[in-house]
């Protein structure tokens, strides 16, 4: 539980509403970009439309395979020690 640790403040409601507004704006932006790039049918039928968007990114054969950064990495199997 995180709520008992939160200190009461006069700006708590304002900060909460700001966080909700920013999160809602980011979500709206992702949905609009998905609809414009993939189309409404693919956006509605993809399980992860943001992953499909990341697969389409290709900047001059320099920046490719961006979807590998969106895929969850297995934890505890190798890596830096």
pLDDT in tens, 33-44: 889 988 999 889
Write phi, then psi, for 42 (nearest 5 degrees): -65, -35
Listed residue (74, 73, 66) closest to 50, CA to CA: 66
Write the pLDDT tens digit of every residue in 56-68: 766 666 666 666 6
- Asked whether 34 and 50 are in contact (CB, 8 A), the reply is yes
CB atoms within 10 A of CB 53: 19
What does the pLDDT read at residue 80? 47
Task: Flag whether pLDDT at 19 surpasses 70.
Answer: yes
Between CA 46 and CA 53 the distance in angstroms is: 10
Answer yes or no: pTM beyond 0.75: no
């Amino acid at each position: 539980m995180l709520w008992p640790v939160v200190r009461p403040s006069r700006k708590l409601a304002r900060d909460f509403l700001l966080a909700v507004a920013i999160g809602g704006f980011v979500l709206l932006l992702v949905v609009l970009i998905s609809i414009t790039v993939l189309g409404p049918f693919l956006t509605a039928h993809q399980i992860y439309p943001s992953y499909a968007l990341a697969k389409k990114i290709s900047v001059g054969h320099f920046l490719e395979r961006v979807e590998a950064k969106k895929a969850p990495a297995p934890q505890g199997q190798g890596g830096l020690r």
